[in-house]
Amino acid sequence: MNKCVRISVFKNLDDKFLKNSVQKHAQKLNLEGFSQQVEDDNYKIIINGNKENVDKFIDLLHKEFIDLDIQDFEIEPFLKDKDYRGVFRIIQ
């Protein structure tokens, strides 16, 4: 069963964090989607894939948010509206 979520982060994220953590975890867990800066200090991350792997991704990301003292974020269900072609991208 697949699951899709949108994670909104309201703090500036470093490109290194996006590539070394977010994208790396998504690729290891065979998830697809993207990360994109929407406004200053506002990012959205769309993750789609196997329900168990999406839950693992959220757990890993949550732990890293705690380490980076990121407290202002939201995780909500999302309807897949695009074909991500099986990859996770960072859109800049």
For residue range 15-65, what is the model confidence (pLDDT) as tens digits?
888 888 999 999 999 999 999 999 888 999 999 999 999 999 999 999 999
Q: Quote the CA–CA distance of 20 and 79 in Å, as a whole number.
A: 26
**Whether residue 81 has pLDDT greater than 90:** no
CATH code, 2-80: 3.30.70.100
Q: Quote the CA–CA distance of 5 and 67 in Å, as a whole number.
A: 22
The model carries a pTM of 0.89
Cα dihedral sign for 19, 35, 9, 37?
Answer: positive
What per-residue confidence (pLDDT) applies to 56? 98
What are the sequence ranges of the domains in the chain? Answer: 2-80
